[in-house]
Amino acid sequence: MLRSCPSCGKTNRVPARHVSDQGACGACKSPLPPPASPVEVGDVEEFDTIVRWSSYPVLVDFWAPWCGPCRAVAPEVELAARHLRGRAVVVKVDTQKLPALAARYGLSGIPTFAVFTDGALVRQQAGAIGHMQIERLVDDVSPRPSALTN
């Protein structure tokens, strides 16, 4: 996976298993934060790696390019990814290119949003929704900061 450095603009290759981690730019050594936009998944192996190794919940947008509601909700997914940066990784799965993943999770329609934690599917919702509802899918399964301090 490729990630651009916000300081120097150089492109850095980041292994799928570290997509949620903060790293350092290979060129200027500045912090390389987790992605603030959806990560396009290229194959099933890459998907499985991200879901298994992510330090944060993984929110998956199952979509297809021919799907009108999927295209309509895409800006909301982008906004949710920016808001969830550092709390979740947002991943896009093109079900036309990766039908095995759609079949694996029994999708009957798209867009469908799914949340994974520790490699397991914990929440799934079909239909076009706004960014606040998308973010709430993650918030509903993530531990609250106050819960961590008690």
pLDDT score, position 49: 95
70 is catalytic: yes
78 is a domain residue = yes
Among the listed residues 8, 25, 28, 67, the single catalytic one is: 67
114 is a domain residue = yes
8 is catalytic: no
pLDDT score, position 63: 98
Model confidence pLDDT, tens digit, residues 9-44 = 898 888 888 888 888 999 999 998 888 899 999 999
Count of domains in the chain? 1
Among the listed residues 5, 8, 25, 70, the single catalytic one is: 70
Model confidence pLDDT, tens digit, residues 63-109 = 999 999 999 999 999 999 999 998 999 999 999 999 999 999 999 99
CATH code for the domain in which residue 81 is found: 3.40.30.10
7 is a domain residue = no
pLDDT score, position 137: 96
62 is a domain residue = yes
CA distances in angstroms from 117 to 22, 34, 53, 73, 120, listed in the order given: 18, 17, 9, 23, 5
CA distance 4 to 50: 19
